[in-house]
Amino acid sequence: MASSLAPVLITGASQRVGLHCAERLLHEGQPVIISYRSERPGVQRLKELGAVVIQADFSSQESVMNFIAQLKAQTDSLRAIVHNASDWLAETPGDEAEVFTRLFSVHMLAPYLINLHCAELLQRSEVADIVHIGDDVTRKGSSKHIAYSASKAGLENLTLSFAARFAPHIKVNGIAPAMLMFQPDDDAAYRARTLAKSALGIEPGAEVIYRSLRYLIDNPYVTGTTLTLNGGRHVK
């Protein structure tokens, strides 16, 4: 992707995958705007690299619309929107509705509203993309994370609908990763069980998301597609 004066928006980019992608783009001279929910060291790193940072929660329609207003105050165009913001919650007795509502808002309502209200910003870029970061869990569902899996499946369906609505100028695609990066406190037994779930058996890191993002943004003939990044879990 050649550097564009129109920035790339990455939601939820204060750590891990979002942070990595934002840093890679900034190092290539691409302007970047990020959203973040909580202050983390990565936010300051991105500010030092020149990113515009906007704090946003995405837990309600009001908070999403407030973010959109702040975004439009920062730029009148966008090269791409990367919906990376995510939440990982399991339902426990008594809080099922609250968990479902929050995950629906973060994984579906926020991308839906941002896409609708920021399409005009994308239209002002010579080429434009939307990329939804989903999850490979939608392939099978999850008995322990039903709301998470369902809301990520809804995000995957938004890819199809917005690809049809925004063609031909705005391409809309998705990426569905399985486990990419362990947490520091994941023990050896958990790591071994997780790696054994895929045919390739590796911890690939955040770079594979960036390479997939670049493929989708650079390729002029791909829209309405979700790339699976699961190391061959579906063939195990």
Take residue 215 and report the two structure tokens written for it. Answer: 């493929």
- Contact (Cβ atoms closer than 8 angstroms) between residue 158 and residue 115: yes
Q: Is 188 exposed, middle or buried (0-12, 13-18, 19+ CB in 10 A)?
A: exposed
Q: Who's near 54: CB < 8 A, 6+ residues apart? A: 33, 34, 35, 36, 67, 70, 71, 74
Catalytic option among 36, 112, 148, 215? 148
- Contact (Cβ atoms closer than 8 angstroms) between residue 8 and residue 33: yes
Residue 112 is a catalytic residue: no
Take residue 135 and report the two structure tokens written for it. Answer: 């999850």
Q: How far apart are CA 148 and CA 144, in angstroms?
A: 9
C-alpha closest to that of 52 among 24, 26, 84, 82: 26
| Complete DSSP assignment for 69-81 | HHHHHH-S--SEE
Active site residues: 148
